[in-house]
Every structure is written in C-alpha cells, then in structure tokens.
C-alpha cells in the first residue's frame, strides 16, 4: 500500500511537471485546465494524507510558507551588470558598427524585447531551485527564494538531460498586464492604494516578506542569460537560451538571432508596433553579440558589457503643466474637455493636448488647471493625463475646471443626460464644430472617400462660409476652391474631380457617411444588406430596425430619430439630387465587385502578371489599392521577395494573399 502511494505521488508529480512545462514554457497545453486541476487535487489529497512523502519541490508547493522578518543579503558570484542604452537608429547603428569592426565577419546578434520588470538570479543545484535573489546594486542583492518559488512559471526542478550541476539563471521578474489590472481592481475594491504600474507591482510583490502574499500576486519570469555554471553549455547566447527552455525554464517567444543593421532596426520597429498587443510591458529591445567567445573578446567597460546594448523606446510618460482646459465639440455634439499642456516630449512626439474625457474622469483625477500632471502617450493612442502630482500643487496658482453652460462654438444650449457623464451641444448641424466634423466624416476613407478633401480644407471651407452641409461640397467651383489659402488651380481641379468620382458609391458607404450616431461601418453594411434602398431605411420603424443584424434598441432609436429630423432629410435629399448614387443591391451586382470597400496593398514581384495589371484587376473588382500597409489595410497581396510591407502585415495580423491565391480569386 505504502509503496503504491509513493508511486502514485511520483506519477502525479511527473504528470503535473510535464503539464506545467507544456503550459508555461511551450505555451502549448495538452490537457484542459480542468484536467490539470483534477490531477493537482489528487496529488494534494495524497500528500495531505501522507505527509511523509511530501516533496518540497512538488508542483503543489507554490503557495508560499512562513513570513520573514527581513531579507538576507546575498553576494552575486558574478556581478549582475547593467546595460548601456541607446535611443536612436544612429546610435544602434554605431553600436553594431563598433562591434562588427572588431571582427572579420558580419556579427550575429541575439535580440530580445527588454521586459519592464526586475532582474533576478535563480540558482539551480543538481536541477533543484535552491536560491533566488534580486539584482540589488549588482554586487549584493536580497534573498527572495521563498517568493520566487511561488512564481507560477518558475520550475522548482529542471527537466531533461545534461543539466549542469550548478546553473545560475538570470532573468526578469515581471507582472503581465492582465494580472496587474486584476490586482489593482482588487486593491481598489478593498479600499487600498493601487500600484502605479506593473513594474512597481512586480517590485512590491517580489519584496513581500510574507511569501503567501507573494504567491497571491500574478508574477511571471523570463530568463535572458546565464551567470555562474558548472558543466557544458552551448557557445552562443541564442543556443544557450534554447537550452534553458529545454530544461523547463520560460523564455520570451520573441527572441531572435539576426545579422545586419537593417534587420536589427527592423526588429526594434516591429517590437514597437507589437508592444501594445504584448501581454507584458516592455521598454525597449536588447542586442547581445551572439557568440560567447566574441563576447569575451569584447569584455567590459565600467559596469556594462561592450557586447550588449539596450535600445530604449521613447518614454511613454512625462511630467508637464496643465495651462488651461478647453472644450471641444465632436461630430455628435459631445463636448469634451481637453487639457492644454505646456508642450512636452513623450512617446516620441511633442504633446500639447490631452483629452480629459468627461466630468467623471476629471473627478477621478482630481485635476485643477495649473496642476503638474503625468502625461501618458502609448503607441498611437491619444495622449492621456495619467495622474496629478498632488504634492506639487500650489493652491495659489490652480483653479477649478468650469464646464460651459452653452456650446463654446455656437452658443446653443447644452444637454445633460441623467446618468451620463457626457454633455452635448444641442445645435446639431447649425453648430460649426459639428458641421465640420460631419463633413470630415462624410469625406473620410470609409465613407465617400473623397481624395484631397482633408480636415484642413474642410475647416477652411466652413470657416469661409463656402459650405454648411455635405451636399454643398458638390456645388463648389474651381474658382471658389482656388481662392483658398495654399490651394492652387491644379489642386482645385483635382478636388473637383475626386468629388465627381466620389458620387459613385455604395449604399453601405452612403449610410455610414451620414454620421448617424452609433452607426459604424459594420452597422451601415447590415442596414444596407437588409433594406437594400435608402427609402426603406428611412421609413423603417424602431421594431423593424431591431430585426437587422447587430442592431439593438439604442442603435434602432438613433437611426429612427435621425430620419425624423427635418434638416437631416433635407441634406439627404440634396445629396441624392447632387448625383450621389450606388448600384442597386442585387446578388449579381455584389458578385461583380466583391472587393468594394476593401483596401489592398501589392508588394513583391509576380511571375504571371505585372503589378500594374494586378492593380487594375483589383480595382475593377471594387478594391482600393494603397501604397503602404497600415491598420486600415484589409489584405496584402505578396509576391516573391516581399519585404518590410509583408513583415508589417504579419505583425498587424493582416490577411496575406500569395500569387497563387490571387490568381484563383481573379479567375472566380
């Protein structure tokens, strides 16, 4: 009986270790979580009834134990170095040149994202985790073994063959974004202070004296190198990392080995694009000479290796002053408070405005005009005020933000809706601000797609009283247009021409272009397919509208009331009178132009057709063919030797079509 219990504990342990490896390291679980949980409970039950067989490295032992009164200090046998930083393409290029100049051949680099966490050292003896320490000052750190043992993806025991007798693994302890958000939510609900960012949360959690608290924190670990070791390791950085992975240690999925400045810079650019979609925060990219013997030849300067550098993203947060708050009127009349900032360089651009969203947000921030604030600009997202520096507030130079009683643009009354934080201008298209936004929307890419009618020109046209409604666009003359500042006769003619072209559209685009609240591209499509004519949409009742795919009570009401407003119907009539038209929706018509509304990009070279023939063929099917890949691209048609456009498309998750697939589609 005892023998079989011991065997059973051993069997379950091995099984869970394998599941953990598949889940955390290979990112490819072989069983559902419920099955993992079932085995886990079985093992836990057996261990409880037979404590004599409980192994301290059992997969069940990740829950933390006794609380410490302080952390012991540990001296790192090999110092934990810092990295040199670079902040520009030129500086990266200089680094690569400097390294390459030392050797005859092109030097390969092992490249990885730089995680925004804390460096840690994990020591495995005979494959068992015996000590974990923080980096500290690089020479002396703190022993946080009990806490690190609770990190879900840190193996207590290594797996596989040829495990070194001694292995110091270096890596980053961090908190994934999702876990951070959940942790903060819990802290706020409990009336406690949330962490400012995932890095602080990771630091606070790793330095918990009570390892049970640390165990409750969603920490993770990725390794990026080796410190001391006894035994044989591969002689390149890239292969060593793969060895660590094979022994059950988690590594970032992004690590690559590359040669050449261009590839190195491309990796950085790609990482910057991917950044927002990664599940954890990164603050740059690390480049390491791949060959360990070359690393040794390069050696160190002061406390940083000459064979590695960190290329940092521009800071996403900066401190500045709120000089004023203005109120902007949007397309639907929503009045948004905008903080006018002392210009500050953040996220790679100079920022002088940040949205404050609404009253609730202002209250949440506790912000006053004159406050010093942290401004955040991440990726392409509009700048936000992250928080107020209350310690720096000077009551003499701050004042409250007062919401306007009337629209700041047209002086119409302001609507406040019970339970909504947003206030709205009631002026409709009488309000110049709403009018401008409506026309910009009307001309935008997914609406009538009027080439050459950018935001600046719309503003000028409205300011010069040349247009009031979208329908006025179609009676503009070349003389009128060329009288505008910075508009010559050539651009005026071009614009008149694109206005002419834009009249041929689709019902879906036309419906979208009207700017009905809550009617986006998808809803416009659904409405068009369901009703097939503008008259039918116009006459539809609320209940009937609700029968359209994805249309609920709110959308239905917005559509219904839009067509009950006299001036909307008037504009609509004028647009049709101006000559806006679309093919009648019949199944056969739609098949003729299956690519209408889609943007394609052609890249690479093709063997069966020239690029211009492909372009013509795609346009004949209704597609718009663009020159560069962006998030608006629907499909990239990639031939042989496609380069950066293809890579970008892959990063953005855009549909990719090769030559064979293209030909098949064209034949259809």
Q: Using CB under 6 A as the criterion, which residues of the chain lie in contact with ligand IWH when the complex forms?
A: 19-20, 22-23, 29, 31-33, 36-37, 152
Burial class (CB in 10 A: 0-12, 13-18, 19+), 392: exposed
Q: Which is nearer to ligand IWH, 91 or 152 (CB)?
A: 152
Q: Which residues of 218-253 are buried (b: 16+ CB within 10 A; e: fewer)?
A: bbbbbbbbbbebeeeeeebbbebbebbbbbbbbbbe
Q: Least Å distance between CB 40 and ligand IWH? A: 7
- Tell me the residue nearest to ligand IWH as measured from the CB: 23
Q: Which is nearer to ligand IWH, 29 or 65 (CB)?
A: 29
Q: Which is nearer to ligand IWH, 32 or 419 (CB)?
A: 32
* Residue among 590, 599, 447 at smallest CA distance from 524: 447
CA distances from 29 to 18, 254, 338, 546 (A): 9, 19, 47, 42
Burial class (CB in 10 A: 0-12, 13-18, 19+), 401: middle
Q: Least Å distance between CB 59 and ligand IWH? A: 9
CA distances from 590 to 393, 507, 625 (A): 62, 12, 19
How far apart, in whole angstroms, are the C-alpha atoms of residue 54 and residue 330? Answer: 65
Q: How far apart are the first and last CA of the chain?
A: 70
> By the 8 A CB rule, do 469 and 364 touch?
no
> By the 8 A CB rule, do 412 and 427 touch?
yes
Q: In degrees rounded to 5, what are phi and psi of residue 626?
A: -105, 165
Q: Which is nearer to ligand IWH, 29 or 370 (CB)?
A: 29
Q: Least Å distance between CB 150 and ligand IWH? A: 13
Q: Which is nearer to ligand IWH, 39 or 585 (CB)?
A: 39
Beginning with the edge strand found earlier in the chain, give each strand of the sheet holding 282-289 in spatial order.
84-86, 308-312, 282-289, 108-115, 256-259
Q: Which is nearer to ligand IWH, 40 or 87 (CB)?
A: 40
Judging by DSSP bridges, how do beta strands 414-416 and 108-115 pair with one another?
Answer: unpaired
How far apart, in whole angstroms, are the C-alpha atoms of residue 598 and residue 320? Answer: 42
Q: Which is nearer to ligand IWH, 173 or 528 (CB)?
A: 173
The catalytic residue positions are: 114
Q: Least Å distance between CB 210 and ligand IWH? A: 22
Q: Which is nearer to ligand IWH, 42 or 82 (CB)?
A: 42
Stated length of the chain: 668
**Those residues with Cβ within 8 angstroms of residue 459's Cβ, 6 or more apart along the chain or in another chain:** 436
Q: Least Å distance between CB 274 and ligand IWH? A: 24
Q: Least Å distance between CB 16 and ligand IWH? A: 8
Q: Least Å distance between CB 349 and ligand IWH? A: 39
Q: 126: which strand partners?
A: none
Instruction: Give the Cα-Cα-Cα angle 264, 265, 269 (nearest 5 degrees).
Output: 125
Q: Least Å distance between CB 152 and ligand IWH? A: 6
Q: Least Å distance between CB 12 and ligand IWH? A: 13
DSSP for 503-518, please give it: TB--HHHHHHHTT-TT
> By the 8 A CB rule, do 258 and 264 touch?
yes
DSSP state of 227: E
Q: Which is nearer to ligand IWH, 151 or 511 (CB)?
A: 151
Q: Which is nearer to ligand IWH, 29 or 404 (CB)?
A: 29
Q: Which is nearer to ligand IWH, 19 or 95 (CB)?
A: 19
Q: In degrees rounded to 5, what are phi and psi of residue 216?
A: -80, -5
> By the 8 A CB rule, do 590 and 532 touch?
no
How far apart, in whole angstroms, are the C-alpha atoms of residue 272 and residue 113? Answer: 10
Q: Least Å distance between CB 460 and ligand IWH? A: 56
Q: Least Å distance between CB 38 and ligand IWH? A: 9
Q: In degrees rounded to 5, what are phi and psi of residue 581?
A: -150, 165
Q: Which is nearer to ligand IWH, 39 or 476 (CB)?
A: 39
Q: Return the residue matching tokens 């092992």.
A: 110
Q: Which residues of 594-604 are buried (b: 16+ CB within 10 A; e: fewer)?
A: ebbbbbbbbbb
Q: Least Å distance between CB 25 and ligand IWH? A: 11
Q: Is residue 31 left, alpha or beta, with left meaning phi > 0 and alpha meaning psi from -120 to 50?
A: beta
SS (H, E, C) 575-630: HHHCCCECCCCCHHHHHHCCCCCCEEEEECECCCCCHHHHHHHHHHCCCEEECCCC
Q: In degrees rounded to 5, what are phi and psi of residue 481?
A: -65, -45
């Amino acid at each position: 009986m005892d023998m079989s219990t011991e065997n059973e504990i051993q069997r379950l342990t091995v099984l869970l270790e394998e599941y953990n490896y598949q889940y955390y390291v290979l990112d490819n679980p072989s069983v559902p979580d419920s099955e993992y949980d079932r085995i886990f409970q079985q093992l836990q039950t057996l261990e409880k009834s037979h404590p004599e067989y409980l192994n301290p490295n059992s997969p069940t032992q990740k829950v933390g134990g006794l609380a410490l009164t302080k952390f012991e200090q540990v001296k790192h046998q090999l110092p934990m170095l810092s990295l040199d930083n670079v902040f520009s393409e030129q500086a990266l290029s200089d680094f690569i040149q400097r390294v390459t100049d030392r050797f005859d051949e092109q030097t390969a680099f092992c490249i990885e994202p730089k995680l925004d966490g804390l460096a840690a050292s994990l020591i495995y003896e005979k494959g068992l985790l015996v000590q974990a320490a923080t980096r500290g000052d690089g020479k002396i750190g703190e022993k946080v073994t009990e806490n690190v043992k609770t990190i879900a993806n840190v193996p207590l025991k290594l797996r596989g063959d040829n495990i070194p007798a001694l292995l110091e693994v270096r890596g980053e302890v961090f908190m994934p974004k999702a876990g951070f958000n959940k942790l903060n939510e819990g802290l706020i609900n409990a009336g406690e202070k949330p962490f400012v960012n995932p890095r602080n949360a990771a630091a606070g959690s790793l330095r918990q004296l009570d390892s049970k608290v640390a165990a409750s924190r969603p920490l993770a670990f990725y390794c990026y190198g080796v410190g001391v070791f006894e035994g044989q390791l591969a002689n390149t950085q890239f292969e060593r990392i793969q060895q660590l992975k094979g022994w059950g240690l988690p590594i970032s999925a992004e690590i690559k080995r590359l040669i050449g400045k261009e590839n190195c810079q491309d990796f950085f650019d790609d990482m910057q694009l991917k950044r927002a979609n990664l599940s954890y925060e990164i603050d740059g990219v690390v480049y390491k000479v791949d060959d360990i013997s070359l690393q040794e030849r390069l050696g160190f300067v002061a406390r940083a290796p000459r064979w590695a550098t960190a290329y940092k993203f521009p800071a996403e947060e900066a401190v500045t002053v709120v000089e004023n708050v203005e109120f902007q009127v949007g397309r639907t009349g929503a009045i948004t408070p905008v903080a006018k900032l002392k210009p500050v360089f953040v996220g790679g651009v100079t920022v002088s405005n940040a949205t404050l969203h609404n009253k609730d947000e202002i209250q949440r921030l506790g912000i006053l005009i004159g406050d010093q604030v942290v401004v955040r600009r991440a990726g392409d997202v509009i700048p936000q005020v992250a928080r107020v520096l209350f310690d720096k507030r000077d009551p003499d130079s701050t004042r409250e933000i007062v919401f306007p009683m009337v629209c700041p643009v047209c002086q119409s009354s302001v609507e406040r809706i019970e339970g909504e934080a947003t206030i709205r201008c009631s002026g409709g298209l009488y309000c110049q601000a709403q009018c401008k936004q409506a026309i910009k929307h009307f001309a935008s890419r997914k609406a009538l797609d009027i080439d050459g009618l950018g935001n600046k020109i719309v503003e000028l046209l409205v300011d010069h009283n040349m247009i009031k409604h979208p329908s006025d666009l179609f009676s503009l003359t070349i003389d009128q247009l060329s009288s505008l500042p910075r508009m010559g006769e050539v651009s005026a003619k071009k614009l008149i021409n694109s206005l002419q072209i834009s009249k041929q559209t689709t019902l879906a685009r036309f419906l979208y272009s009207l700017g009905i609240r809550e009617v986006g591209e998808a809803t416009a499509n659904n409405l068009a397919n369901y009703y097939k004519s503008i008259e039918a949409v116009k006459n539809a009742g609320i209940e009937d509208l609700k029968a359209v795919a994805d249309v609920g009570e709110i959308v239905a009401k917005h559509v219904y009331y839009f067509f009950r407003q006299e001036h909307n119907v008037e504009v609509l009539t004028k647009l049709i009178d101006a000559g806006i038209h679309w093919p009648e929706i019949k199944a056969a018509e739609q098949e003729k132009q299956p690519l209408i509304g889609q943007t394609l990009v052609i890249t690479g070279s093709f063997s069966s057709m020239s690029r211009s023939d492909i372009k013509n063929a795609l346009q004949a099917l209704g597609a718009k063919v663009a020159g560069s890949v962006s998030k608006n691209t629907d499909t990239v048609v990639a031939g042989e030797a496609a380069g950066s456009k293809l890579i970008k498309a892959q990063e953005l998750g855009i549909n990719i079509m090769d030559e064979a697939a293209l030909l098949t589609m064209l034949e259809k």
